[in-house]
Structure 1
Amino acid sequence: MQERTIKAVAWCDLALTAPFAIPFVAEALISLIHEMDRQAGFGTPVTLFEMGPLSMMFVHIMGVLGVVWAFARLRTPIPALARIDAGARLAVAALIAYAIAQGATPVLWLFIASEITGSMAQFFALRRYQ
């Protein structure tokens, strides 16, 4: 069960981070987030969604690192990697919450939910089988 949970979370990460690694796809995803913000009536200024080449480079790097990290956990689904991942997810959730507090779109709460869900799933799986 522990290995299945680690792999399931890694597959979800792969699905969510791979689009950010691919030029043009990442831009489309950011546009989709902006459209979700608009449809939800949050009214986040468009300027906060605009990304130049430098910003997009960091988005793509984040995507590549997310893909590599997911593949590492798929290839070697061990408790040590799950613990690291679960802790890192809480840090990422805190950084996203900070961005929201600084004016980023509240649509990003969906990302916070996915980070916390992945973290808790792994913590519970690790705890259950110690």
Structure 2
Amino acid sequence: MVSESTFVRIVRASAWYDLIVSAPFATPWTFAWLHQALNALAGALGIGTLPDFAPEHLLMANLMGSVVCVWSVLRLRQTSVALGRYDAAARWLFAAWQAYAVLSGGTLLVVPFLVVEMGFGLLQSMPVGSVPGRTGTRAARAG
């Protein structure tokens, strides 16, 4: 079990992570830069190259990046246990599709993102409550 204040910090950290990672997907220009950088990384790691993106693929990447950025800002501005739970559900869905992509022959560059999705998914799925020894008033704890 994790305290509500710790859980809220986890939700906020996951929102910052999402904002930083997803922002390059949000526009055609930043995605072109990201695609080139990831392609260079894949080549340097010896795991092949990324396919070229058709306009429809680019549209889907930009939509995903835009929506995730907005969702991230919402979680930063109105951080709550409820939003953390919704985010956990979204992370499990993202992790499922990332695992499916890798198992279907997609690039191994997805694996680090899959690990992070699963990590934040686990953390945001944890029970939230009071931490033993930290409940009640000071007087009750002292007595």
Write out per-residue CA displacement over residues 49-75 of structure 1, whole angstroms, 9 at most, x where no aligned residue. 210111101110000000011111112
Write out per-residue CA displacement over residues 68-102 of structure 1, whole angstroms, 9 at most, x where no aligned residue. 11111112111111111112111111101111122
Question: Normalising by structure 2, what TM-score?
Answer: 0.80
Instruction: In structure 1, list runs of 5 or more residues that go unmatched.
Output: none
Helix, strand or coil for the counterpart of 2:109?
Answer: helix
For residue 128 of structure 1, report the CA deviation from its aligned partner: 4.2
Query: Which contiguous aligned blocks of 4+ residues in structure 1 show a shift greater than 4 angstroms?
Result: none
**CA RMSD, 1 decimal:** 1.5
Q: Which one has the largest radius of gyration?
A: 2
Pairwise mapping of residues 33-112 of structure 1 onto structure 2 (< 5 A)?
33-43=38-48, 46=49, 48-112=50-114
Write out per-residue CA displacement over residues 100-120 of structure 1, whole angstroms, 9 at most, x where no aligned residue. 122211111011012112212
Question: Normalising by structure 1, what TM-score?
Answer: 0.87
Aligned residues: 125
Instruction: In structure 2, list runs of 5 or more residues that go unmatched.
Output: 1-5, 131-143
- Contact 1:86-1:123 at 8 Å conserved across structures: yes
For residue 129 of structure 1, report the CA deviation from its aligned partner: 2.5
Write out per-residue CA displacement over residues 13-59 of structure 1, whole angstroms, 9 at most, x where no aligned residue. 1001111002211121122222222111123xx4x521011110111
The sequence identity of aligned pairs, in percent, is: 32
For residue 121 of structure 1, report the CA deviation from its aligned partner: 2.4
CA–CA distance in 2 between the matches of 1:20 and 1:50?
15
